[in-house]
Amino acid sequence: MASAILKRVSASAKSTLVESMRIRASSRAFAAVAVGTDIVSVAPNVSLQKARSWDEGVSSKFSTTPLKDIFKGKKVVIFGLPGAYTGVCSQQHVPSYKNKIDEFKAKGIDSVICVSVNDPYTLNGWAEKLEAKDAIQFFGDFDGRFHKSLELDKDLSVALLGPRSQRWSAYVVDGTVKALNVEEAPSDFKVTGADVILNQI
């Protein structure tokens, strides 16, 4: 009896959390960035941090990667998510791209990138745990500047995450957004998976 009650309470709490995240997201479900936006122009002074171990970070003198080096002259599929080690991100979002990497290559995509408001060391450990580093490039947006510049940031304090990213995906050619998908709420996984973006390339 007690176990059943606890399960109902746990399910209710989870439902309340998800609904709270959805309500907070509803007023800003779509970003200012749109199809036709040049990402480098919108965020000219922003760099991302390639996922790596702490020792690799020290060896590289904590170097960062300018957006032009990531996007210019390339066909890129990029997806953003709320955070490393979180549920939907670990169980659905990253695996959807990892499992379709050969299809992206067949369509001429130069790189598939995952970006999150995390430090690059946390992302590195997460990517290794998911066995996804060979398929996907992981980049940290440690201070959230990239997502703020694109207006794809989201306050997820309700889930004890603080300032994070919305869940989104984009197809970018030479820095210009050709397709963009943003979930209504960060807990959703309806329009940002690999299958959707593959059909938009």
pLDDT tens by residue, 148-185? 999 998 767 676 666 788 999 999 999 999 999 999 98
Q: How far apart are CA 97 and CA 90, in angstroms?
A: 11
Both structure tokens of 33? 């960035």
- Would you please indicate which residues are annotated as catalytic (active-site) residues? 89
Task: Render pLDDT for 184-201 as a digit per residue (tens, 0 to 9).
Answer: 988 899 999 999 999 999
Residues of the chain predicted below pLDDT 50: 2-29
The DSSP output letter for 44 is: T
Backbone angles phi, psi at 101, to 5 degrees: -60, -35
* Alpha carbons 57 and 48: distance in angstroms, whole number: 13
Distance CA 147, CA 76 (A): 17
Measured CA to CA in angstroms, residue 39 lies from 47, 76, 117, 191 at distances of 12, 12, 17, 21
Strand partners, 80: 115, 168
Which fold does the domain 2-198 belong to in CATH?
Glutaredoxin (3.40.30)
What pLDDT does residue 185 have?
Answer: 86
Can you give the pTM of this predicted structure? 0.82
Q: Where are the domains of the chain?
A: 2-198
At 196 the pLDDT is 97
**CA dihedral of residues 90, 105, 182, 35 (deg, nearest 10):** 160
**CA angle, 182 as apex, 181 and 186 as ends, to 5°?**
145
